[in-house]
Amino acid sequence: MVASDRISAFDYILPDEIPYKGEILTRISAFWFNRFKDLMPNHLITMDVSEYPEEYQKYGEYLTGRSMLVKKAKTVPIECIVRGYLTGSGKKTYDQDGTVCGIKLPAGLTEASKIPEPIFTPSTKAALGDHDENISFERCAEIVGEDVAAQLRDASLKLYTAAAEYALTRGIIIADTKFEFGFIDGKLTLIDEALTPDSSRFWPADGYEPGKVQPSYDKQWRAAPPARRGRQGYLGALSGGLRDHHWREVHPHEGVKCLCVKPLMLPRGRRRRQTRPSRRRTRRTRPTKMSARASRSAPSRVRSLRARLRRACAL
């Protein structure tokens, strides 16, 4: 299993890579696999490339740090999402009817409010190119069976609770996360990635304030509407093109590091689409004034964003 350095923005895969992104995500997963191996079996065999099959040795330089040799599992077709705080799609449905995936929550919760108890909110595991769909626990049980659904729920809540407690001691709030499971030799097993910025929302605990969208060390800025995204970045958790003082050891024995940096400054999204002024003018109307930024074409704005990302990721 290999993690690349590629990144997408606005449904577009950028041609430039974020240095060491794949390596950071892989090492974070390995840290959690090792920490929770007594709570839940996982598919990791080794990250030592010298122990990989012979045919992979010629790719050793690239695979080192960003790959895992894992056990093959029969994947359960459910995305196991656990939410500890109200945000994202859960906040939207809560505002509509007071529920999240069919689970009734107390009245009066706002953006980023802590949920009294973490909740299990599964989704379908869609095919490539399709979107996952949030479902109720009852629908999950219909898909995989009541026994398997109960195992997924209990394992997900147990792992999230343990991870959230540990992360809080390191100044990080895990607002929500997604797990994937499979069966190996008949036993439910944690697979894929675990508790990375690509599968979780990480918030800095020292600036936590309910009632507003939180700054984050994850990839959520890409999914947020431009008007909300503003200047918030996500390279605080992923970018490798940073100076040594940005790094902080969290597990010296395993050599795993995390990042604590200022967000990348990105151009603000526009709240309203502006059109070019009409060429027909009369005395009663004045031509619409447009800033240079507003009059730029979409391709030009994409090129500008790509240039900013390249400069931010430069070593």
What is the pLDDT averaged over residues 260-279?
Answer: 41
Distance of CA 195 to the CA centre of its chain: 9
Reduced to 3 states, what is the DSSP secondary structure of residue 113?
coil
> Is pLDDT of 58 > 70?
yes
Task: Give the 3-state secondary structure of 274-311.
Answer: CCCCCCCCCCCCCCCCCCHHHHCCHHHHHHHHHHHHHH
C-beta separation of 41 from 33 below 8 A: no
* Strands 12-13 vs 44-46: parallel, antiparallel or unpaired: unpaired
Question: pLDDT tens-digit profile of 202-216?
Answer: 999 999 999 999 998
pTM for the full model? 0.70
Q: Is the predicted pLDDT of residue 248 greater than 70, yes or no?
A: no
DSSP string, 1-28: -B--S--EETTEE-SS--TTHHHHHHHH
CA distances from 3 to 18, 44, 63, 64, 187 (A): 12, 14, 9, 11, 26
Q: In whole angstroms, what is the distance from residue 28 CA to residue 284 CA?
A: 63
